A and B are shown apart, each in its own frame.
Chain A
């Protein structure tokens, strides 16, 4: 088999691929024979293997039904290819007889491409380094689980909240009642003291011993009244704000946490 036979066999085996692909492959192997030199024809044919084998390697890369010549092959899995847009240019060499006009066109294209290359050659080299992807906060799944648990537990939570609320309300009401009671007691005792003092002073000339006893009773009432007044002030002034603060923080804990978890 000589070179011409080899090439015609190869051409016959590539009938089913697109003309552009077939021309491209045949030109490549024609060039290959030319560059190897006529004296190496047999060696080249041995090195390439049978036309069937060469046709097989060409077909590996070329889709059989691709008549546009630009459909992209599925990239072999182990190739890390930088993805580009489809702006690429394919300079089709056409047929074997090239003229001078075509030649200058290509030289021009070649020079432009050369400038382009030197301007842009490094711009994409470092893009493959991906920034570390750190996750922060709870994942959606975790939040969903918490929400579902909250919904499932809602009867318990509601009952507990109602109970605790009722107790707290009771304590607060009782507290205010005590303040009111102490305040009333203080007011009454002080009023009694004033009345007894008036009665005692008025009666001091008529019945000195009795009047002194009444004044003593008045002072005792006044003392007790002051004690209740102080209790009232203490409860209203110190204990109530503290209790209010405690209740407020408790409510914040209950409602604030639920808000945060939703």
Chain B
């Protein structure tokens, strides 16, 4: 992957992966699923999960599984709101870039001073 995955996009991807599981999911599984989408080191995700937890986007609980406790992550209502924000921001961002690549961008030329501004 040529493009960097910034902290915001990483948060969005992790939130999206966790939100797929209404009952919550656990660190190893989250890591494997994120790694199917973007290439990243396996040690990258713990800080992301911890950050999202501190931002009250994720909550954790322990559930017994095969004779031991496993920590589960689950999206909170704030996490859902944050995910919706990320999704709408991503749609806007990606559609603009795609529009540019496909030559569908409508350039505004109101006047020569401000002609190159695409939006605003």
Binding site for B on A (CB under 8 A): 24-25, 27-29, 31-32, 34-36, 44, 47-49, 53-54, 57-58, 60-62, 70, 72-73, 75-76, 78-82, 84, 87-91, 93, 96, 98, 102-103, 106, 109-110, 113-114, 116-117, 119-128
Contacts and interface: CB of A to CB of B under 8 A. Distances in A.
5 contacts: A48-B42, A75-B55, A81-B82, A82-B78, A91-B60
Interface in B53-112: 53-56, 59-64, 68-71, 74-78, 80-82, 84-86, 88-89
B33 to A, nearest CB: 13
**Could you tell me the dominant secondary structure of chain B's interface residues?**
helix
Given A79-B7, A90-B53, A91-B61, A32 B78 contact: no
Contacts of A93: 60-62, 69, 71
A34 B68 contact: yes
Nearest to A54: B43
A25 B46 CA distance: 8
Contact of B81 (A72, A73, A113, A123): A123
A84 to B, nearest CB: 6
Nearest to A125: B84
B36 interface: no
A80 B27 contact: no
A125 B85 contact: yes
Contacts of B20: none
Contacts of A122: 80-81, 84
A220 to B, nearest CB: 79
Interface of B: 6-8, 11, 22, 24, 26-29, 31, 41-44, 46-47, 49-51, 53-56, 59-64, 68-71, 74-78, 80-82, 84-86, 88-89
B27 A35 contact: yes
A57 B47 contact: yes
Nearest to A85: B56
B69 A96 contact: yes
Nearest to B11: A79
B26 A106 contact: no
Contacts of B81: 82, 121-125, 127
Given A98-B69, A103-B64, A91 B43 contact: no
Contacts of B68: 34
Given A57-B44, A93-B69, A80 B77 contact: no
Nearest to A37: B28
A125 B64 CA distance: 33
B29 to A, nearest CB: 7
Contacts of A36: 28
A31 B41 contact: no
Contacts of A123: 77, 81
Contacts of B69: 93, 96, 98
B46 A28 contact: yes
Given A93-B71, A98-B64, A48 B43 contact: yes
A25 B22 CA distance: 24
Given A76-B6, A88-B56, A93-B61, 19 more contacts: A24-B50, A25-B50, A35-B28, A54-B43, A54-B46, A58-B46, A62-B47, A78-B6, A78-B8, A80-B85, A84-B78, A88-B55, A90-B53, A91-B61, A106-B61, A113-B59, A116-B76, A125-B80, A128-B85
Contacts of A75: 55
A53 B46 CA distance: 12
B77 A31 contact: no
Nearest to B41: A49
A132 B78 CA distance: 25
